[in-house]
Amino acid sequence: MKMHKILLVSAMLWLIPVIQAFSTHNRAGEITYRQLSGFTFEFTITTYTYTKSPADRSQLEVQWGDNTTTIAPRIPPPLILPNDYQKNTYKATHTFPGPGVYEVVVEDPNRNYGVINIPSSVNVVFSIKTVLLVNPQVGQNNTPILLNPPYDKAAVGHLFVHNPAAYDPDGDSLSYRLAICTREGGEPISNYTFPTASDTFYVDEVTGDLVWKNPVKEWQKNGEFDRGIYNVAMNIDEWRNGIKIGTIHRDMQIDVYKTENDPPVNGPLNDLCVVAGDFISFEVTATDPNNDMITHWDTGGVYQVLESRPVFTTVSSDSGTITSRFEWQTTCSHVRGVPYNWLVKAEDVNEDISLVDIDNINIRVIGPPPGPLETIPSHRSILLKWSPCACDNVVGYDVYRRTGNTGYIPDSCEYGVPAYLGYHKIGSTSSWQDTVFVDDNHGDGLLQGTEYCYLVVAVYPDGTPGIASNEACGILVQGTPVITNVSVTDTDPAAGSIYLAWVKPRDLDTIPAYGPYEYRIYRAEGIWGTDFTQIHSFSTADLEDTTYHDLNINTQDFAYHYRVELYNDEPGNRFMIGEPGTASSLFLHLVPGDNKMKIFFRKNVPWLNTRYVVYRQNHSTLLFDSIGVVSDSVYVDTGLANGAEFCYLAKSIGTYNQPGIPDSLINFSHENCGTPVDLEPPCPPDLTVYSVCDSFYNVLHWAIPEGECGEDIVKYNLFYTPLYNGTLQPVGTVEERETTVFYHYPEETMAGCYAMTAVDSFGNESALSARICIDECSYFELPNVFSPNNDGDNDFFRPKAYRFVKAVDIQIFNRWGELVFEESYDDPSEFIWNGQIRNTGKIVSPGVYYYICDVTEQRLTGEEIRNIVGFVYVFTEKNPPVHVEK
């Protein structure tokens, strides 16, 4: 065994010249741009190359995506970075022929040799690309700037994080996603695989962190360093107003080392939210478990501001620890719609390799609120006044309104008017000092009896709102009818009736209307009906007659919307006084469920309903009994028998919360009936899948959903596809509720994706469970020794296992890197080497031989080529000696 180990190391050393002959230089890169004018852009191509490689490109060809190319020269001098990285910058300007989506691609002939997750990587073109939307309607656009170069190293068994520190100068939103490395033409490498991790490998779509949790070792030590090389890629998508306007594709190399060094660790950091003008100061401390010295380095969008930039300084440094302080005086010019990112890197100084810990936070700078907001109501409008915002760079103010107050007070990082408050924008002003707004409902007038509440926000040059003002509310000076009751008194398809009531106007003395007066009553079908028809009118001298019974209408199937108008009926001076009052009846919408009934309270009223009393008809007495009280607009009646009819009505209790109008406004709905039925599917089971590779089957196991969600499940349907993006097909059914395991014996590959559904006793089928994919088994295996000496024992070099293998390409080299055997097999069972040197018929000399084998396997993503390298010991004499480790 000792001799075998020596031979293995020696063979690796023999192959160093072969590897170096294929070495290239490209390690990472990306393409960015800035827009100079309409269709003209300046592009920057950034590549990161190996400083020790003789290959050094002084120019690169750019493919513009419009059937034209340009040579982009390098801007001297290159920037030398740590870890033998060199940053190269190339620039070129291009004018596109017109609007469109263009994919700009830059290629370099070869990737580095020996990239583990790209088979035959030295023969694969390195390419990077950027996609841009050229459209005048989008406006001026520049790509994000990637401020963190990708040169850090990873270590086996330790967390690795890379963040590009992307900053968008236009304030556009960014999202991030994992991508496949590309080849010529910017096309994905077909047999590319993501790196293997003992935990997970992903890109956080929000923060941009590329996270590799605990890389595993899957390479042989090569020379001085115990290192594996991987290439990964991420896409940075740029969004504006919900539209994707561009994508940057960053390709980067990660060198993973087997090392005893441990990376340093930064202390915890939290996102910050500050008001413009606040001073930010905090410290970050990093420690190193090996007591190495540590350095701190930072970058991020915070350093791209034009005025009052941050400062990051080291406060203290000693063996195993460092503390640094970040300080930033924010100003009004820093307010923008997206936060500023800040990235800090702690790097240790270790004689083996230097490792890092990267952390990043977002710092959001929000604009202050306007001065105190006040309301001044009149008969049909409300005047709003406030003081100018403390930031004089605002371009105006947006005004929002809703009915009823919320008591809203913004939290520490809330800006604008949150949608959950129910406010709607009703207007704007156009300058910093324009601080008066009249709300008259766009000329239609506001409604009497309604409490109107307002919020005002300052708007900054990029359209970002600041913190909302205080909430200010007002009620019109009462001078028109205020409806208080629209209550169903009888439910019938033809003889139904509704009681309508309103409050006499209080402040007619301020209106030039001296009577007599006339009330006009209108009705429209539906809660929000607008097709009003006059159904009644009557004259009054004192306005005291304020009720009406609407008879002989269909209250069983319809709700009704009423409008009450008040007219000055004086001869020669006839006009409508103020705005009419409107309100609808309360309507119950029933949604049957499994042993339950969901009851929705639908209405369109100017008052606030604070609670609803729900009644259900007693099957014995036929009277309606109270069964519950809720404040929400829905009630769920449970414990019902499926198939039986249940009838309901509801009573709403509401208020205007203002003097002169009765409190506790009571209105009844119509009666409505429904029958519970089980139409609800069960919840999907929680599925897990694993492979038993030696026995060629996959095990599916699941848990029965708990509670009502899974109580009447009777069977399970199972689905499978051998491909990651394939269409799921039925693969089996389990007819027993308590059976929660299924064994699947695939025919073409052990890889695949599974999902399942549950079916209940009523035939309702759940949604598909989460799609679980596995690709755990590999069956191709070559021996590490054979003896082509015609003794009938182990005379041939051939696979020990090859199930699910589609094809094999193999090359075998001697100690000097000379090719002694090469062959391709579409049928792996035909793979055999008799030990002869190709085209000679001569048996090779005894020794250790190195092979490179491309194995085409049916994997999760389809047919993939897995690159296998290894050694085989060849003995040509009979009865070779056996070396035993001592």
pLDDT at 509: 52
Assign a CATH topology to domain 785-874.
Immunoglobulin-like (2.60.40)
Residues of the chain with pLDDT under 70: 1-25, 53-55, 197-198, 220-225, 508-511, 878-886
Q: What is the rounded (10 degree) CA torsion for 655, 661, 664, 665?
A: -80
- 132: nearest Cα among 220, 273, 256, 240: 240
**Nearest-angstrom CA–CA distance, 752 and 496:** 63
For domain 686-774, give its CATH number from 3.40.50.300, 2.60.40.10, 3.40.50.970, 3.20.20.80.
2.60.40.10
Is 798 exposed, middle or buried, given 0-12, 13-18 or 19+ CB atoms closer than 10 A? middle
**pLDDT attached to residue 684:** 93
Say what the pLDDT of residue 639 is. Answer: 93
Helix (H) or strand (E) holding 17: helix 16-22
Q: Does domain 587-674 have CATH number 3.40.50.2000?
A: no
**Count of CB atoms situated within 10 Å of the CB of 384:** 23
pLDDT at 444: 80
- The DSSP symbol for 494 reads T
| pLDDT reported for residue 683 | 92
pLDDT tens column, 88-129: 999 999 999 888 889 999 998 778 888 999 988 888 889 999
What is the rounded radius of gyration, in angstroms, for the C-alpha atoms of the chain? 38
Comparing CA positions, the residue from 103, 257, 238 lying closest to residue 182 is: 103
pLDDT at 723: 87
Q: pLDDT, tens digit, for every residue of 48-58?
A: 988 776 667 88
pLDDT digits over 237-252, tens only?
999 888 889 999 999 9
Predicted pLDDT at 814: 87
pLDDT at 604: 93
- What's the confidence (pLDDT) of residue 671? 97
Burial of 885 (0-12, 13-18, 19+ CB in 10 A): exposed
Top-level CATH class of 374-475? mainly beta
CA 127, CA 110: separation in Å to the nearest integer? 9
Domains 265-366 and 785-874 share a fold: yes
Please tell me the class of the 265-366 domain.
mainly beta
Domain 482-584 indexed as CATH 3.40.50.300:
no
Whole-number Å distance between alpha carbons of 345 and 343: 7
| Confidence (pLDDT) at 881 | 46
Which amino acid does the sequence have at 239? W
CA angle 227, 231, 233 (to 5 degrees): 150
Give domain limits for the chain.
Answer: 25-257, 265-366, 374-475, 482-584, 587-674, 686-774, 785-874
